[in-house]
Amino acid sequence: MIPIVISLRRMKKSIFIVICFLSLYGCISGIPLSKREIQNFMSDAEYRLDLQNTIQRIEKGEIESRRLQIIYLILQNTPEHHIHNLNGVTGNKVFVHIDGHSEAVFDKDGKLVKDGVNDGSYNYFDGTRHPLKHFAFDIHPWIIWGNSSKDKTSKEERIYGYVCDLEIGIRKALDAKESLKEIKKENWDKDGQLQALAIFILIQKEARTTSLFSLFERDISSITDQNIFDALKNLAIGFNKVYSSSRLRIPYVSDGFHPPKNEALYSKADLAIKTTDPTQTKLVVFNASNRLLFDTYGSGRINIEIDGKGLIQLNIGQYIQVIVSRGEHHLQLLHKDLFNFRSQHHIDLTGPEAYVKIWATLFSNKVRIVPELPENFASDFEPVQ
């Protein structure tokens, strides 16, 4: 009995820790997307995967509505188990906050996973309440870019993991196919729903099969594991074709992205320089954008304006230092992908030195005043010339 009691105590403790963690994590992780950010990202998805024609066919009613309902039901029932057990890992368990946004992943020993590959992440949309938008905003970018800069898995590996989760979604959807009639048939919005549907229609087209939809036309008792395996195999083929590097339309954007006119003075001196004027601050700004997401196609360059004056363009891994007066200052940041992403920020400088980290995001830019420079700053960053 003792081992069982100990096991139950550990289980209760683990559950308590998970509940506490998610309660805190749910309060501090992620921010909702603005309407403009949603529209920009969906326009980007339409361009990258060439979805416009398929979206138009859906809007015109040229795609059978039952197929759209089937896609919705499958995604609504698809968990995220295998995609958090990549790189040969097994035993990871995913816990999702009641709001559907924040999640945490714990390994088989009850330790929080932080390997950069299988970590929990912030979901912009809940997979159960908004399955199409969850795919469009959370799964779609993960397939292209992975979980973090530490994620070295290939798109093929990520697709394999996701297709394994889709198997669970398909089986659950088959059991619940009577609920298809409760899913709307039309009037899908362009804020993620149409795009997700178009991707799955395109996947079936690229695989040259309708085996997935055929499953739902049969009596469930006649469906074999081989039938489901064949549908999954075709899904994997379609996914890999749609998301192949040769098919993705990703332009190199920085060629036409020019620095701002320099209207504010900055120092090219050594970082050791200090200001002796008690009314001034030495401000160091460094671009710490994610290289995996933004370096390959040149979209990690950020133009900086301070107090309405052009300052500089910083590439990833570059920094600039400028002497400014103490007090509040206004920063405007701009990076270019398929669209111009401009953001406004206010910083309050009160001491002799200040360090400001800036970075590009998928939809905007971020600014954070940090207490000190990163540990490997000298090797990871260089002054702008």
- From first to last of its 385 residues, the chain has per-residue pLDDT tens of 333 333 333 333 444 444 454 444 443 345 567 787 788 888 888 888 999 999 999 999 999 999 999 999 999 999 999 999 999 999 999 999 888 888 999 999 999 999 989 999 889 999 999 999 999 999 999 998 888 878 889 999 999 999 999 999 999 999 999 999 999 988 899 999 999 999 999 999 999 988 999 999 999 999 999 999 999 999 999 999 999 866 766 555 545 678 888 877 777 767 888 888 999 999 999 999 887 677 656 788 999 999 999 999 999 999 999 999 999 999 999 998 767 788 999 999 999 999 999 999 877 899 999 999 998 898 889 998 7
- Residue 302 in contact with residue 340, Cβ under 8 Å? no
Contacts with 107 (C-beta within 8 Å, 6 or more apart), sequence order: 89, 91, 92, 113
Gyration radius of the chain's alpha carbons: 24
Amino acid in position 246: S
The reported pLDDT for the residue numbered 272 is 82
Amino acid at 268: K
3-state DSSP call for residue 140?
helix
Angle ∠(49,52,58) on CA atoms, nearest 5: 115
Q: From 159, 162, 87, 80, select the one nearest 117 (Cα to Cα).
A: 87
Q: Integer distance in angstroms from the first to the last C-alpha of the chain? A: 70
Sign for the pseudo-dihedral over CA of 200, 205, 207, 211: positive
What's the confidence (pLDDT) of residue 249? 64
Contact present, 358 and 365 (Cβ < 8 Å): yes
**Angle value at C-alpha 193, between 188 and 196, nearest 5 degrees:** 135
Quick one: DSSP state of residue 318?
Answer: E
Pseudo-torsion of CA 166, 158, 143, 317, nearest 10°?
160
Cα–Cα distance for residue pair 92/107, rounded to 1 Å: 4
Q: What is the pLDDT of residue 69?
A: 97
| C-alpha–C-alpha distance, residues 162 and 153, integer Å | 13
pLDDT at 271: 83
Domains annotated for the chain, with CATH where assigned, are: 24-242 (no CATH), 254-383 (2.60.40)
> How many CB atoms within 10 Å of residue 380?
14
